[in-house]
């Protein structure tokens, strides 16, 4: 299995549990690794057989910009569900962070994996 990835996709959204967080848009950063067999796309040089990372990015931007979640955990689960269902992704690893959320730290967040891990994929 191959991996198609997106790194540091930054999206402004309402996220957080504190009153002030509900009033301002904050940036979240998404790193996404998605299992995909790229062989047919490579053989044909045809985008219809590829996992289109531009389409995935556009869908994530549209979803996250309008979500207004309280917890990063909720947003991460929902993103994983959208990607797996709409793009037929059997496995993904998602890192969702809030840059600057904690003074002294570059970012905070979480990493989740959903689906069956492809054989031979390093941890």
List the beta bridge partners of residue 27.
Answer: 12
Would you list the DSSP string of 12-70?
EE-B-SSGGGGTS-EEEEEEEEEEE--HHHHHHT-GGGS--HHHHHHHHHHHHHTT-BS
| Residue 98 is a catalytic residue | yes
As a 3-state breakdown, the chain gives helix, strand, coil percent values, each rounded to 5, of 35, 35, 30
Residue with tokens 């390093």: 122
Catalytic residue among 98, 101, 109, 114: 98
Query: Which three-class secondary structure state does DSSP give residue 98?
Result: strand
Residues labelled as active-site residues: 98
């Amino acid at each position: 299995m191959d991996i198609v990835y997106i790194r540091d996709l930054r999206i402004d959204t309402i996220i957080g549990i504190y009153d002030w967080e509900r009033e301002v848009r904050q940036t979240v950063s998404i790193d996404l690794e998605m299992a995909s067999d790229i062989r047919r796309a490579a053989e044909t040089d045809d985008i219809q057989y590829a996992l289109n990372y531009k389409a995935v990015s556009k869908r994530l931007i549209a979803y996250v910009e309008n979500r207004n979640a309280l917890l990063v955990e909720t947003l991460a689960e929902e993103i994983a569900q959208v990607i797996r269902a709409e793009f037929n992704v059997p496995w993904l690893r998602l890192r969702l962070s809030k840059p600057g959320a904690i003074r002294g730290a570059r970012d905070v967040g979480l990493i989740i994996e959903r689906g069956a891990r492809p054989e031979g994929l390093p941890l």
